């Protein structure tokens, strides 16, 4: 500490300091300030345009949707809406907006704000990338595609200032929980109009000083690449429950740097933990390490259109010869679970069929059944992954397992992210590393990726039986029946194996002892207003 100060003084009187006197405010001051490592820089602070874990963390502090989530159970709890009613056919939702809901500039928040915000998203000129998430509203897709011109036909209506009625296109059992996604948050249209055309993307309303929000916090300043600083919103309806005065989000995309900053007490909460630091914290500072399941699955995608992998026996053999436990225990070491099925555990009552296993002897037999007595006679198989040390290590391990257990030669190929995406979309690969993180807590979110016409399929696999089960599940109103259909669909998927699940993610974080009341959950969702600082 003293050394630090001496150096500081030395530096301060050196000629170099002439350049830098401007910024002497210590932005890492810990006083009543939660300092959060937030991975990458936020793209923007407009909840209707951006989407991503990084942005969601900030936006969920700035804004509040109709309903919020209980961080423990992940069940909907009142947000801007103090109560709601659902019709018997699950198509009509009526929300009562609370009368004490205000914008951060003191103006009252009404049902109309939701209507205008959602209309903005569905206006094609805005080109909101995530507009499709709103397509579950009645006629929303038709409006977006300009098939209908009148927004009154879209399923969202303000009955009066404090009553919002939402009509859905089809029963969407997860409609309420979905409201925690920032695309559903309201924006203050008068503010947007003040800073440009609200229906273009270049509006300046998200800058420091311009921003207006309705959540527990409001924007103090956003200095790109440095900090997003939020303070308690004095107009928030539940401001008494907000305990921490300031939230500082630092965009730190280098995991090692982030971890170092945490270790040197410049951060209270990190976005992740570098793979190789987990052991250090497990052994030395277990109180700072948070590892908990996360609804995401890491898997290998297989291009089933090209031989030899169009042969399901070979795919099965490949799956049987991956020792998933070895990967999770010795390489990942962050409490990840080996994936013997596709849909991660923790999604309510859904019981995924556990049919995958590690069995190299059976794998070898299957290979001979497929007419290949020895893997050496197969041409080399190539595993594609996007550039990253972690993916590389796993690929190298799998490469070795396939070689040892089946005798198959495996080549590895890493491509930069965009090239990798193009290769997958054009089915220009054999085996590719992939992952899926839940958008919302429902198994269908995982399974619908493999509908034959889904843009997320990217394997060339199609199975009419599978498609039928998923389509039936979309319309099924009985939740038990629906889960059964989904379980059957997953079973088909796991028997044909267009993908090889490898492990289920964990959320990894470092958290300081100062932070109290932190509630881990499978979504990685943090309700900032509940947190406290010691």
Partner 1 sequence: MRKYIVKKVLLFIPAIFTIITITFFFIRLAPGGPFDKDKNVPPEVLQNLERYYHLDEPLWKQYIRYITNVLKLDLGPSFRKPSYSVREWIVLRLPVSIELGIYALTFALSIGILCGFVSALKQNTWVSSLIISLGIIGICIPNFVSGPLLALFFGIKLDLLPIAGWDLPQQKILPSLALGFIYSAYILRIFHSSLTEVLNKEYIRTAKAKGLSQSRILIVHASKGALQPVVSFLGPAGANLLTGSFVIETIFHIPGLGREFVEATFNRDYTMIMGIVIVYAVLILIFNLTVDIIQGWLDPRISYD
Partner 2 sequence: MLKINNKGKLSASLIFAVLIFSFLLPHIMDLSIERQDIELGAVRPSFEHLFGTDILGRDLLARVLYGIKVSFWIGLSATAVALIIGVTYGCISGYFGGWVDILMMYIIDTLYTIPFSMFVVILMALFGRNFYLLFLAIGAVEWLTMARIVRGRVLSIKQQDFIASGKVLGFSNTRILIKHILPNTLGIVIVYGSLTIPQVILLEAFLSFLGLGVQPPMCSLGSLIREGVEVMEEYPWLLIIPSVVFISILFLLNILGDALKELLPESKT
Residue number, 193 or 389, with CB nearest to partner 2: 389
Could you say whether residue 427 binds partner 2 (CB under 8 A)? no
Q: Which of 153, 197, 253, 279 binds partner 2 (CB under 8 A)?
A: 279
Q: Which stretch binds partner 1 (CB under 8 A): 57-65, 160-168, 259-267, 388-396?
A: 259-267
Number of residues that bind partner 1 (CB under 8 A): 62
Asked, as a colleague might, if the bond just before 308 is cis with ω within 30 of 0, I would say yes
390: phi then psi, degrees, rounded to nearest 5: -65, -45
From 480, 487, 390, select the one nearest 435 (Cα to Cα): 390
The length of the chain in residues reads: 534
Could you say whether residue 397 binds partner 2 (CB under 8 A)? yes
Angle at 391 between CA 404 and CA 430, to 5 degrees: 65
Q: Which of 29, 257, 305, 369 binds partner 1 (CB under 8 A)?
A: 257
Angle at 112 between CA 110 and CA 113, to 5 degrees: 75
From 495, 502, 459, select the one nearest 312 (Cα to Cα): 495
Could you say whether residue 396 binds partner 2 (CB under 8 A)? yes
Q: Which does 400 bind (CB under 5 to 8 A by kind): partner 1, partner 2, none?
A: partner 2
Could you say whether residue 170 binds partner 1 (CB under 8 A)? no
Could you say whether residue 375 binds partner 2 (CB under 8 A)? no
Residue number, 365 or 399, with CB nearest to partner 2: 399
Q: Which stretch binds partner 1 (CB under 8 A): 154-162, 196-204, 299-307, 526-534?
A: 196-204
DSSP assignment string, 136-198: GBTTHHHHHTTS---GGGSSEEEEETTEEEEEBSS--TTHHHHTTSGGGS---HHHHHHTS-T
Buried b or exposed e, range 144-157, using 16+ CB within 10 angstroms: beeeeeebeebbbb
Contacts to partner 1 from residues 427-446, by CB under 8 A: 439
Residue number, 417 or 474, with CB nearest to partner 1: 417
Could you say whether residue 456 binds partner 1 (CB under 8 A)? yes
Burial (CB < 10 A; 0-12, 13-18, 19+), residue 415, is: middle
Q: Which does 368 bind (CB under 5 to 8 A by kind): partner 2, partner 1, none?
A: none
Q: Which does 330 bind (CB under 5 to 8 A by kind): partner 2, partner 1, none?
A: partner 2
**Minimum Å distance from CB 327 to partner 2?**
8
Q: Which does 129 bind (CB under 5 to 8 A by kind): partner 2, partner 1, none?
A: partner 1
Could you say whether residue 284 binds partner 2 (CB under 8 A)? no
**Minimum Å distance from CB 1 to partner 1?**
9
Q: Which of 95, 144, 162, 402 binds partner 1 (CB under 8 A)?
A: 144
Grouping H, G, I as helix, E, B as strand and the rest as coil, residue 530 is helix
Could you say whether residue 534 binds partner 2 (CB under 8 A)? no
From 205, 52, 177, select the one nearest 120 (Cα to Cα): 205
Q: Which stretch binds partner 1 (CB under 8 A): 284-292, 339-347, 419-427, 481-489?
A: 419-427
Q: Which does 243 bind (CB under 5 to 8 A by kind): partner 1, partner 2, none?
A: none
Q: Report which secondary-structure segment, H or E, holds 312.
A: helix 312-320
Q: Which stretch binds partner 1 (CB under 8 A): 71-79, 84-92, 200-208, 472-480?
A: 200-208
DSSP assignment string, 11-60: HHTSGGGGGTTT--S-TT--TTEEEEE-SSPPS-S-TTT--SHHHHHHHH
**Minimum Å distance from CB 397 to partner 2?**
6
Could you say whether residue 392 binds partner 2 (CB under 8 A)? yes
Task: Please state at what angle helix 360-369 crosses helix 312-320, rounded to 10 degrees.
Answer: 160
388: phi then psi, degrees, rounded to nearest 5: -175, 140
Q: Which stretch binds partner 1 (CB under 8 A): 64-72, 103-111, 252-260, 525-533?
A: 252-260
Grouping H, G, I as helix, E, B as strand and the rest as coil, residue 83 is strand
Q: Which stretch binds partner 2 (CB under 8 A): 60-68, 407-415, 438-446, 479-487?
A: 407-415
**Minimum Å distance from CB 47 to partner 1?**
12
Whether the Cβ atoms of residue 82 and residue 205 lie closer than 8 Å to each other = no
**Minimum Å distance from CB 300 to partner 2?**
16
Could you say whether residue 389 binds partner 1 (CB under 8 A)? no
CA-CA-CA-CA torsion for 357, 358, 364, 370, nearest 10 degrees? Answer: 30
Q: Which of 290, 413, 421, 451 binds partner 2 (CB under 8 A)?
A: 413
Could you say whether residue 330 binds partner 2 (CB under 8 A)? yes
Residue with tokens 């959950």: 521
DSSP assignment string, 448-476: GGGSTT-TT--S----HHHHHHHHHHHH-
Residue 285 makes CB contacts below 8 A (sequence gap 6+) with none
From 223, 280, 224, select the one nearest 256 (Cα to Cα): 280
Q: Which does 474 bind (CB under 5 to 8 A by kind): partner 1, partner 2, none?
A: none
Whole-number Å distance between alpha carbons of 39 and 47: 18
Half-sphere CA count of 525, side-chain side, radius 13 A: 26
Q: Which does 413 bind (CB under 5 to 8 A by kind): partner 2, partner 1, none?
A: partner 2
Residue number, 173 or 419, with CB nearest to partner 1: 419
Whether the Cβ atoms of residue 233 and residue 213 lie closer than 8 Å to each other = yes
Could you say whether residue 416 binds partner 2 (CB under 8 A)? yes
Binding site for partner 1 (CB under 8 A): 3-4, 7-8, 11-12, 16-17, 19-20, 23-28, 43-44, 46, 49-50, 124-125, 127-129, 131-132, 144-145, 201-207, 224-226, 252-254, 256-257, 260-261, 263-264, 266, 416-419, 421-423, 425, 439, 454-456
Binding site for partner 2 (CB under 8 A): 256, 274, 276-277, 279-280, 326-327, 330-331, 387-389, 392-393, 395-397, 399-400, 403, 411-416, 418-419
């Amino acid at each position: 500490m003293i050394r630090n100060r001496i150096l500081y003084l030395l530096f301060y009187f050196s000629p170099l300091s002439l350049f830098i006197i401007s910024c002497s405010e210590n932005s890492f001051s810990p006083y009543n300030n939660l300092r959060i490592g937030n991975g990458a820089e936020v793209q923007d602070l407009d909840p209707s345009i951006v989407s991503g874990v990084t942005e969601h963390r900030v936006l969920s502090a700035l804004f509040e949707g109709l309903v919020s989530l209980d961080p423990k159970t992940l069940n909907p709890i009142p947000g801007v809406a103090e109560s709601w009613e659902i019709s018997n056919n699950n198509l009509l939702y009526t929300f009562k907006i609370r009368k004490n809901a205000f914008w951060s500039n003191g103006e009252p928040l009404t049902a109309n704000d939701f209507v205008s915000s959602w209309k903005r998203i569905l206006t094609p000129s805005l080109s909101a990338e995530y507009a499709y998430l709103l397509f579950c509203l009645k006629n929303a897709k038709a409006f977006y595609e300009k098939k209908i011109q009148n927004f009154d036909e879209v399923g969202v209506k303000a009955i009066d200032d404090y009553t919002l009625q939402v009509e859905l296109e089809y029963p969407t059992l997860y409609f309420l929980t979905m409201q925690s996604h920032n695309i559903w948050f309201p924006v203050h249209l008068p503010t947007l109009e003040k800073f440009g055309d609200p229906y273009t993307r270049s509006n300046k309303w998200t800058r420091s000083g311009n921003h207006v929000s309705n959540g527990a916090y409001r924007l103090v300043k956003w200095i790109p690449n440095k900090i997003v600083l939020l303070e308690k919103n004095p107009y928030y309806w539940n401001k008494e429950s907000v305990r921490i005065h300031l939230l500082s989000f630092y965009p730190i995309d280098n995991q090692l740097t982030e971890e170092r900053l945490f270790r040197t007490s410049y951060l209270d909460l990190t976005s992740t933990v570098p793979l190789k630091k987990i052991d250090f914290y497990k052994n030395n500072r277990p109180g700072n390490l948070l590892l908990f399941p996360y609804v995401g699955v890491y898997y290998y995608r297989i291009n089933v259109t090209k031989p030899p992998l169009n042969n399901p026996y070979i795919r099965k053999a490949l799956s049987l010869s991956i020792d998933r436990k070895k990967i999770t225990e010795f390489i990942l070491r962050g409490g990840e679970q080996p994936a013997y099925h596709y849909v991660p555990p923790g999604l309510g009552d859904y019981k995924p069929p556990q049919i995958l296993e590690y069995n190299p002897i059976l794998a070898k037999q299957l290979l001979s059944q497929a007419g290949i007595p020895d893997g050496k006679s197969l041409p080399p198989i190539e595993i594609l992954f996007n550039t990253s040390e972690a993916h590389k290590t796993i690929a190298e391990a799998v490469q070795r397992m396939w070689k040892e257990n089946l005798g198959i030669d495996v080549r590895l190929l890493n491509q930069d992210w965009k090239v990798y995406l193009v290769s997958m979309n054009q089915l220009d690969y054999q085996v590719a590393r992939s992952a899926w993180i839940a958008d919302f807590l429902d198994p269908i979110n995982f399974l619908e990726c493999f509908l034959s016409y889904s843009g997320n399929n990217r394997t060339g696999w199609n199975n009419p039986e599978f498609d039928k089960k998923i389509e039936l599940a979309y319309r099924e109103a009985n939740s038990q029946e629906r889960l059964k259909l989904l379980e059957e669909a997953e079973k088909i998927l796991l028997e044909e194996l267009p993908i090889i699940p490898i492990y289920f993610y964990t959320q990894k974080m470092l958290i300081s002892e100062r932070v109290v009341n932190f509630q881990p959950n499978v979504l990685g969702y943090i309700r900032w207003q509940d947190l406290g600082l010691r």
